[in-house]
């Protein structure tokens, strides 16, 4: 194991911080244990420096999707610094939040009311609370991942693994009150029959149906229409989670592109380009519960979040971010496919939106190959995983460098596969694939 400051600090972290980090997706064990750098000293565009001054291009999640414009975007940083220089927290409220609320409603003409938060999971929780208050009902139906909170993990209290396949395996409901059993039901994306069954059995008890309007692919014809019609029929509110896909497919929520409007939509992550801000937007009727329910928090009133969001939305529009990230994602996907073909590796790539480009190894040792890919990319100066959230800061030159690395790495992996000697080349343990106890 390399002896360096970055790895050493993470070893200390694991002695004192349960789980090592505050977000599962920032655990080095998810990529290449003992090799992935846990910490950064500087970040700029899609470039990152670790604590030892080692430089990487981020061809991975770019702040887990938070920095669609790239890290430390100068326009956003300037707006934030300007706000900090005039005081970012006060006894009074930030005026930017009114402008931001109006802007979000302009972009999403069906929306009439807005509340702000600071993180993604809490934004989902606020939306669920509002829906429950508005409808005076408790049950919720979910598809996909929406955060760490009780209302969501309650789905796993029932048949123990209802959330399997909803983005993250291994989410045991430890610490979630058993009394919440049967308050959250799950359904799979595009599964009309399963959805109909839930609605027939529980539709009139549901406060809300919450789902991403899409994640990696367009919905099958008729699926979103069915969801919308039957939520309306049974009086449940439809909430679209745009926390990850929002702003990546179009300027605004992806639902604008799909032509389906919900009762509420939630945003976080890219909304502040790395500064904490989340938003629940909704129709006047759906948001009625926000008048009745006590939903209130001190740091939802600081000024950096809304100032960053206003600057971010302005720039996302000006540079047509969604067009650029689709272009970059498709270049990288093309390279994965081309290099797999020439090296003789079998992969699946190009199934889905290029703004969230990804591939997988078609091999029984897929997890070892995934770890080797990241290991070899780190050696070449890339934070490289099997998926990339491209940003506005990625350009053709950087993609070209990455393309050369893909070619080399695929050729090397193909050789190791042929030799049948995969683990011998690994410099650390195999990557973890879901949530599990670390320390």
Ligand X SMILES: Cc1ncc(COP(=O)(O)O)c(C=O)c1O
Q: Return the ∠ at Cα 398 (arms to 392 and 402), rounded to 5°.
A: 120
DSSP for 17-51 reads STTSSSSGGG-GGGT-TTTS----SEEEBTEEE-T
Nearer to ligand X, 101 or 277 (CB): 277
Candidates 101, 114, 124, 249; binder of ligand X (CB under 6 A) is: 124
Q: Which stretch binds ligand X (CB under 6 A): 50-58, 115-123, 255-263, 315-323?
A: 115-123
DSSP 8-state assignment for residue 218: P
Residues 175-234 that bind ligand X (CB under 6 A): 212
- Asked if 119 touches ligand X (CB under 6 A), the answer is yes
Nearer to ligand X, 238 or 372 (CB): 238
CB atoms within 10 A of CB 168: 15
Q: Return phi, psi of residue 277, to 5°.
A: -160, 135
Nearer to ligand X, 243 or 316 (CB): 243
- Residue 312: CB minimum distance to ligand X, A: 15
Residue nearest to ligand X (CB): 120
Nearer to ligand X, 297 or 423 (CB): 297
241 and 212 Cβ atoms separated by less than 8 Å: yes
Q: Which stretch binds ligand X (CB under 6 A): 117-125, 334-342, 404-412, 424-432?
A: 117-125
Nearer to ligand X, 32 or 124 (CB): 124
Residue position matching structure tokens 């670390």:
438
- Residue 122: CB minimum distance to ligand X, A: 7
Alpha carbons 286 and 252: distance in angstroms, whole number: 20
Alpha carbons 402 and 408: distance in angstroms, whole number: 10
Nearer to ligand X, 357 or 398 (CB): 357
- Residue 97: CB minimum distance to ligand X, A: 19
DSSP for 110-165 reads T--EEEEESSHHHHHHHHHHHHHHHHT--EEEE-S---SSHHHHGGGGSSS-TTTT
CB atoms within 10 A of CB 137: 19
- Residue 145: CB minimum distance to ligand X, A: 5
- Residue 218: CB minimum distance to ligand X, A: 17
How many helices (H) and strands (E) in the chain? Answer: 13, 13
Nearer to ligand X, 97 or 212 (CB): 212
Rg, Å, the chain Cα set: 22
Nearer to ligand X, 152 or 223 (CB): 152
Q: Which stretch binds ligand X (CB under 6 A): 140-148, 227-235, 293-301, 370-378?
A: 140-148
Candidates 19, 121, 350, 352; binder of ligand X (CB under 6 A) is: 121
**Those residues with Cβ within 8 angstroms of residue 208's Cβ, 6 or more apart along the chain or in another chain:** 127, 128, 131, 132, 135, 140, 141, 236, 237, 238, 239, 264
- Asked if 120 touches ligand X (CB under 6 A), the answer is yes
Nearer to ligand X, 205 or 269 (CB): 269
Alpha carbons 55 and 408: distance in angstroms, whole number: 19
377 and 310 Cβ atoms separated by less than 8 Å: no
Candidates 43, 268, 355, 413; binder of ligand X (CB under 6 A) is: 268
Number of residues this chain uses to bind ligand X (CB under 6 A):
13
Nearer to ligand X, 141 or 417 (CB): 141
- Residue 173: CB minimum distance to ligand X, A: 17
Task: Determine how β-strand 237-241 pairs with β-strand 264-267.
Answer: parallel
SS (H, E, C) 382-396: EEECCECCCCCCCCH
- Residue 268: CB minimum distance to ligand X, A: 5
Candidates 83, 108, 129, 146; binder of ligand X (CB under 6 A) is: 146
- Residue 434: CB minimum distance to ligand X, A: 14
- Residue 199: CB minimum distance to ligand X, A: 22
The alpha carbon torsion through 275, 128, 254, 220 (nearest 10 deg) reads 150
**Those residues with Cβ within 8 angstroms of residue 263's Cβ, 6 or more apart along the chain or in another chain:** 131, 231, 237, 238, 239, 282, 283, 285, 286
Contact track, ligand X, 233-252, x by CB under 6 A: --------x-xx--------
Binding site for ligand X (CB under 6 A): 119-121, 124, 144-147, 212, 241, 243-244, 268
């Amino acid at each position: 194991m390399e002896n360096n400051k970055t790895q050493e600090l993470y070893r200390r972290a694991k002695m004192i911080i349960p789980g090592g980090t505050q977000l599962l997706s920032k655990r080095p064990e998810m990529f290449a244990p003992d090799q992935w750098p846990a910490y950064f000293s500087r970040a700029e565009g899609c470039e990152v420096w670790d604590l030892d001054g080692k430089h990487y291009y981020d061809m991975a999640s770019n702040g887990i999707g938070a920095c669609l414009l790239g890290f430390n975007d100068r326009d956003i940083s300037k707006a934030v610094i300007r706000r900090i220089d005039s005081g970012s927290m006060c006894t009074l409220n930030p005026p930017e939040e009114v402008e931001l609320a109006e802007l979000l409603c302009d972009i999403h003409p069906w929306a009439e009311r807005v509340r702000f938060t600071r993180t993604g999971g809490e934004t989902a929780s606020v939306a669920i609370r509002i829906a429950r208050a508005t409808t005076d009902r408790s049950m919720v139906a979910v598809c996909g991942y929406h955060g760490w909170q009780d209302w969501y993990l309650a789905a796993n209290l029932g048949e123990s693994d209802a959330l399997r396949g909803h983005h993250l395996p291994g989410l045991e409901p430890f610490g979630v009150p058993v009394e919440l059993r049967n308050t959250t039901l799950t359904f799979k994306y595009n599964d009309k029959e399963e959805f109909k069954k839930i609605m027939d059995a529980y539709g009139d008890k549901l406060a809300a149906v919450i789902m991403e309007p899409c994640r990696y692919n367009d919905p099958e014809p008729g699926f979103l229409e069915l969801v919308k019609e039957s939520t309306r029929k049974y009086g449940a509110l439809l909430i679209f989670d745009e926390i990850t896909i929002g702003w990546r497919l179009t300027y605004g929520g992806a639902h604008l592109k799909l032509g389906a409007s919900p009762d509420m939509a939630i945003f976080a992550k890219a909304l502040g380009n790395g500064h904490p801000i989340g938003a629940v937007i909704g129709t006047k009727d759906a948001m009625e519960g926000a008048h009745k329910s006590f939903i209130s928090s001190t740091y939802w009133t600081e000024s950096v979040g809304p100032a960053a969001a206003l600057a971010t939305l302005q720039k996302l529009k000006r540079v047509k971010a969604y067009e650029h990230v689709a272009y970059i994602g498709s270049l990288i996907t093309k390279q994965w496919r081309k290099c797999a073909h020439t090296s003789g590796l079998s992969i699946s790539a190009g199934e889905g939106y290029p703004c969230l480009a990804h591939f997988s190894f078609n091999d029984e040792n897929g997890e070892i190959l995934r770890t080797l890919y990241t290991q070899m990319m780190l050696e070449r100066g890339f934070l490289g995983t099997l998926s990339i959230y491209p940003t506005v800061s990625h350009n053709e030159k950087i993609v070209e460098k990455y393309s050369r690395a893909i070619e080399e790495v695929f050729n090397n992996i193909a050789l190791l596969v042929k030799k049948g000697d995969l683990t011998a080349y690994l410099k650390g343990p195999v990557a973890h694939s879901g949530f599990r106890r670390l320390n």
